[in-house]
């Protein structure tokens, strides 16, 4: 059976990305404490308990998926902004974008009796249209122990470059066993899937994923965390939710107000009560990212 590399919480961004770049995934041990795990679960337990089971084999007939984590849990927000993870996500995705965004925030609970999920790539959220780039950087935080018995995520190390229709053999699959507070970091291209829960307890993970800011998010953060809630969050979190331009002129809007009552073009920051530093279409740095890769401005 294949194996995943486990790193310590003190591992550098370079070391994390070296491992993820080689294998497509890495476990980082004990990124948060047991007490922090308890706080996250304490804030979200009422929502988890109220969430219904999935309705198909892929989402899991004995799996619950609870979202809107940023709006519901201050402790979950701290995980979204975890410095080591965020630095790794930004560095990993930097070749393909000017900014990144929160793609998905979800508590995934595998109940006893859940079967194995189909091995897949998370990047298939956009179909197979994207080529020659990595669209996302993902995490699964262990809020319970992850074991082979209770459905720890199955990962295929080295599968990033595989064709979409290849399927792994049993000996190519690794089991992401990890302690509470540890996290699996993996790319959108690595093949993986939830395991079967053959234990008597729940396997609970927090799936926080980041993507290129010019792509549509899997979880619509503007609806999961609307402006009336997002306005009270810190600017960095607002930006990750999408309340900033994804690139030059990408994401501005017109507030639907009476004639002359508001701007005809506003940056997303306007919706949460902030002023965009570069105006409604973005600043010079964002414009330069376009100029650097095209012939824009040469005629």
Helix (H) or strand (E) holding 43: helix 34-50
User: What's the confidence (pLDDT) of residue 92?
Assistant: 98
User: What's the confidence (pLDDT) of residue 298?
Assistant: 40
Distances (CA, A) of 189 to 58, 65, 145, 171: 18, 22, 25, 19
Domain boundaries, the chain: 6-212, 244-291
Tokens of 6: 């486990």
**CA 233 to chain CA centroid, nearest Å:** 19
What does DSSP say about strands 183-187 and 136-142: parallel, antiparallel, or unpaired? antiparallel
Helix axes 13-23, 83-93, angle to 10 degrees: 60
Rounded CA gap, 44 and 2, in Å? Answer: 34
Longest dimension (CA), the chain: 68
Backbone angles phi, psi at 224, to 5 degrees: -70, -30
User: What's the confidence (pLDDT) of residue 288?
Assistant: 77
User: What's the confidence (pLDDT) of residue 279?
Assistant: 86
Rounded CA gap, 3 and 157, in Å? Answer: 7
Nearest Cα neighbor of 266 from 254, 250, 282, 249 is: 254
CATH number of 6-212: 2.60.120.620
The Cβ of residue 268 has, within 10 Å, a number of other Cβ atoms equal to: 24
User: What's the confidence (pLDDT) of residue 91?
Assistant: 98
Helix (H) or strand (E) holding 184: strand 183-187
Distances (CA, A) of 223 to 23, 80, 217, 219, 265: 35, 18, 11, 9, 21
Nearest Cα neighbor of 105 from 148, 139, 153 is: 139
Helix (H) or strand (E) holding 239: helix 235-241
Half-sphere exposure of 226 (CA within 13 A, CB side): 2
The pTM (predicted TM-score) of the whole model is: 0.94
Backbone angles phi, psi at 99, to 5 degrees: -145, 155
**Structure confidence by residue, pLDDT tens digits, 110-157:** 999 999 999 999 999 999 999 889 999 999 999 999 999 999 999 999
Give SS3 for 19: helix
Nearest Cα neighbor of 78 from 141, 7, 12, 11 is: 141
Sequence-separated (6 or more) residues with CB below 8 Å from residue 63: 53, 54, 108, 109, 110, 111, 114, 194
User: What's the confidence (pLDDT) of residue 294?
Assistant: 63
Residues of the chain with pLDDT under 50: 296-299
**Tokens 């331009």 correspond to what residue?**
245
């Amino acid at each position: 059976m294949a194996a995943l590399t486990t790193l310590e919480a003190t591992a550098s961004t370079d070391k994390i990305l070296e491992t993820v770049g080689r294998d497509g995934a890495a476990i980082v041990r004990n990124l948060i404490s047991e007490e922090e795990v308890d706080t996250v679960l304490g804030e979200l337990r009422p929502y988890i308990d109220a969430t219904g089971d999935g309705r198909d084999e892929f989402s899991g007939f004995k799996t619950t998926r609870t979202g809107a984590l940023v709006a519901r849990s201050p402790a979950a927000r701290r995980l979204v902004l975890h410095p080591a993870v965020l630095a790794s996500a930004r560095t990993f995705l930097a070749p393909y974008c000017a900014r990144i965004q929160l793609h998905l925030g979800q508590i995934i609970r595998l109940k006893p009796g859940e079967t194995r999920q189909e091995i897949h790539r998370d990047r298939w959220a956009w179909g197979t249209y994207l080529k020659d780039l990595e669209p996302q950087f993902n995490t699964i935080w262990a809020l319970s122990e992850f074991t082979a018995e209770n459905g720890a995520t199955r990962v295929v190390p080295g599968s990033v470059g595989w064709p979409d229709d290849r399927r792994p053999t049993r000996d190519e699959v690794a089991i992401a066993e990890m302690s509470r507070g540890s996290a699996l970091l993996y790319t959108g291209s690595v093949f993986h899937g939830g395991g079967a829960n053959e234990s008597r307890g729940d396997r609970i993970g927090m799936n926080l994923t980041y993507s290129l800011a010019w792509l549509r998010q899997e979880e619509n953060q503007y609806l999961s965390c609307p402006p009336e809630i997002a306005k009270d969050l810190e600017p960095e979190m607002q930006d990750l939710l999408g309340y900033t331009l994804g690139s030059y002129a990408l994401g501005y809007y017109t507030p639907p107000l009476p004639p002359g009552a508001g701007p005809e073009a506003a940056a997303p920051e306007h919706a949460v009560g902030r002023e965009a530093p570069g105006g409604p279409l973005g600043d010079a740095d964002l414009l330069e990212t376009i100029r650097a890769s095209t012939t824009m401005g040469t005629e």
